[in-house]
Structure 1
Amino acid sequence: MNAIMVMELKKHVQDRGLLFWMLILPIIFTVLFIAMFTANTDDATRQQVILSIVPGYVVMFVFFIMISMVSAFIKDRDKGMTTRVASTPISPYFYLLGKWIPFMCIVIIQVIVLFLFGRLVYDVPLGQPIILLILSIFLTFTVTGVGLALAVIVRTENMGIAITQIVALGGAMLSGLWVPLEMMPDFMQAISRFLPQYWAHQAFQDAMAGNIVFTELMQTLLILFGIGIAGFVIAILRYPFFLKRAVH
Structure 2
Amino acid sequence: MFAIIGFELKKSLQDRGLLFWTLILPIIFTVIFISIFTSGLSGSDRQQVIVSIVSGYTIMFVFFIMISMADSFIKDQNIGMVTRIESTPLPSLFYLLGKWISYMYIVIIQILILTTFGKVIYDIPLTQPLYLIILFIFLTVMVTGLGLALSLLVKSINMGIALTQVVALGGAVLSGLWIPIDIMPAFFQKISNFLPQYWAHQAFQDAMSGTLQVADLFKTLFVLIGFSLLGFIVALFAYPNFLRRSKG
Same fold (TM over 0.5): yes
- Is residue 215 of structure 2 the alignment partner of residue 215 of structure 1? yes
Q: Which structure 1 segments of 5+ residues have no match?
A: none
Q: Matched residue of 2:247: which SS?
A: coil
TM-score, normalised via structure 1 length: 0.98
Amino acid at match of 2:69: M
Alignment match, 2:157: 157
Q: Does 1:39 align with 2:32?
A: no
Quote how far apart the aligned CAs of 1:43 are.
3.2
Distance between the aligned counterparts of 2:79 and 2:15, measured in 1?
Answer: 18
User: 2:18 maps to which residue?
Assistant: 18
Give the structure 1 partner of residue 244 of structure 2.
244
Offset of 1:75 from its aligned partner? 0.5
**1:67 corresponds to which residue?**
67
SS in structure 2 opposite 1:194? coil
CA contact (8 A) 1:92 1:236 kept: no
Q: Corresponding residue for 1:199? A: 199
Structure 1 runs (4+) greater than 3 angstroms displaced: none
Whether 2:180 is the aligned partner of 1:183: answer: no
Counterpart amino acid of residue 213 in structure 1: Q
Q: What is the match of residue 114 of structure 2? A: 114
Provide the alpha-carbon RMSD of the alignment: 0.8
Over the matched positions of the two proteins, sequence identity in percent amounts to 61
Residues 38-62 of structure 1: CA deviation (Å, up to 9, x unaligned)? 1223333322210110000010000
Instruction: Give the residue type in structure 1 aligned to 2:155.
Output: R
Offset at residue 202 of structure 1 (A) = 0.3
Residues in 1 aligned to 2:212 and 2:43: alpha-carbon distance in whole angstroms: 24
Deviation string, structure 1 residues 62-113 (Cα, Å, up to 9, x no partner): 0000000000000000111111111111111100001110100000000011
* Distance across 1 between alignment mates of 2:73 and 2:116: 31
Deviations 1:127-178, CA, capped at 9 Å, x for gaps:
0011101000000000000000000001111111100000000000000000
**Partner secondary structure for residue 155 of structure 1:** coil
**Counterpart position of 1:48:** 48
The aligned amino acid for 2:81 is M
Determine the C-alpha separation between the residues in 2 that align with 1:174 and 1:114: 22
Amino acid in structure 1 at the alignment position of 2:201: H
Query: What residue identity is the alignment partner of 2:29?
Result: F
C-alpha distance in 1, partners of 2:46/2:131?
Answer: 25
Asked if 1:127 is matched to 2:124, the reply is no
Structure 1 pair 199/114, CA: closer, same or farther in 2 (3 Å)? same
Q: Which residue type is aligned with residue 26 of structure 1?
A: P
- Count of residue pairs the alignment pairs up: 248
Contact 1:34-1:49 within 8 A present in 2 as well = yes
Map 1:141-152; keep pairs closer than 5 Å.
141-152=141-152
